[in-house]
């Protein structure tokens, strides 16, 4: 990896990967999409693409290990890293929501006082209920949150919801939304000192914005700086 090149971290293998790669390709970038590799050099732009787990992206960006990252806002709200959202990318839409069993008698969240709530988003959950002044017991789990009420482990869950199919399959329903989320392009709050990188970054952002506003770009041998 060349040090003077821009570095962009994207999700290696998950829900944001396809749309992120699509955006990069539509923006005219040429690079190796082989997921067995951990990074790829762009062939027509001085940038390295680093493939990592989505949860690590804000950390890498905050530390300046990479200059840019694509990640869901939900991860930013949960981890509160010192990073800046440059643009909303218009994919990866979901919402962090509170869900209860369909048969539950709970009608409003105040009735969840002292309830057991499972989630992979303990910070967002705590913040939400603290603001509402509702004491709850948070149980952190790393995945399959939706099965915990049926296991008798929780009265409610806080999880990401997109289509709502997972909740329906598990006989759960949304009672309240905590926040909406989509994929965003982020950079370190302090940003990059190097002027060359700044110019590259602006060039790239301009291209992303064109694609996001529906303008198609022709493939080019080299993205002119
Ligand atoms: O391996 P890695 O750590 O990189 O990936 P991951 O498994 O942690 O994340 P991944 O790929 O599942 O999600 C990446 C990002 O996609 C999230 O951080 C969100 O920003 C965004 N996103 C958009 C979603 C969803 N939609 C989504 N529906 N992330 C997760 N889900 C899950 C949700 O947790 C629940 O299990 O999908 C299920 C609900 O989906 P519906 O459609 O049934 O409602
Ligand atoms: Zn993850």
Q: What is the pLDDT of residues 91-150, one digit of tens each?
A: 999 999 999 999 999 999 999 999 999 999 999 999 999 999 999 999 999 999 999 999
The number of domains in the chain is: 2
88 and 188 within one domain: yes
Q: 196: domain range?
A: 6-92+182-212
Would you say residue 14 lies in a domain?
A: yes
88 and 10 within one domain: yes
Mean pLDDT of the 71-100 span: 97
Would you say residue 163 lies in a domain?
A: yes
Classified as helix, coil or strand, 58 is helix
What tokens appear for 26 in the block? 């539509």
* Rounded CA separation 150/11 (Å): 31
H helix or E strand, kind and range, residue 132: none
67: nearest Cα among 210, 220, 208, 195: 195
The residue whose CA is least distant from atom 13 of ligand 1 is 15
Classified as helix, coil or strand, 122 is helix
Q: Which pTM was predicted?
A: 0.94
The enclosing domain of 154 has a CATH number of 3.40.190.10
pLDDT at 220 (0 to 100): 63
Ligand 1 centroid from CA 160, angstroms: 7
Q: Which atom of ligand 1 is the closest one to the Cα of 169?
A: 43
pLDDT at 214 (0 to 100): 87
The residue whose CA is least distant from atom 16 of ligand 1 is 15
The residue whose CA is least distant from atom 21 of ligand 1 is 92
75 and 56 within one domain: yes
Which segments within 56-155 are labelled E, that is strand?
68-72, 83-88, 94-101, 116-119, 137-140
Q: What is the pLDDT of residues 48-61, one digit of tens each?
A: 999 999 999 999 99
Q: Which atom of ligand 1 is the closest one to the Cα of 166?
A: 43
105 and 81 within one domain: no
């Amino acid at each position: 990896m060349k040090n003077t090149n821009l570095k962009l971290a994207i999700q290696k293998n998950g829900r944001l990967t396809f749309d992120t790669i699509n955006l990069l390709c539509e923006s005219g970038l040429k690079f190796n999409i082989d997921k067995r590799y951990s990074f790829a050099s762009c062939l027509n732009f001085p940038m390295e693409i680093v493939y990592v787990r989505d949860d690590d992206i804000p950390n890498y960006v905050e530390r300046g290990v990479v200059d840019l990252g694509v990640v869901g806002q939900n991860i930013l709200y949960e981890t509160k890293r010192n990073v800046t959202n440059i643009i909303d990318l218009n994919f990866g839409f979901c919402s962090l929501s509170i869900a209860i069993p369909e048969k539950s008698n709970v009608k409003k969240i105040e009735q969840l006082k002292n309830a057991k709530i499972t989630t992979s988003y303990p910070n967002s959950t705590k913040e939400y209920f603290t603001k509402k002044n509702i004491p709850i017991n948070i149980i952190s789990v790393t995945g399959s949150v939706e099965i915990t009420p049926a296991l008798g482990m929780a009265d409610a869950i806080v999880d990401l919801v997109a289509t709502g199919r997972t909740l329906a399959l598990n006989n759960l329903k949304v009672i309240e939304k905590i926040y909406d989320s989509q994929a965003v392009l982020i950079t370190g709050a302090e940003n990059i000192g190097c002027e060359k990188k700044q110019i590259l970054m602006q060039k790239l952002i301009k291209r992303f914005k064109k694609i996001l506003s529906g303008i198609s770009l022709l493939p080019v041998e080299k993205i002119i700086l």
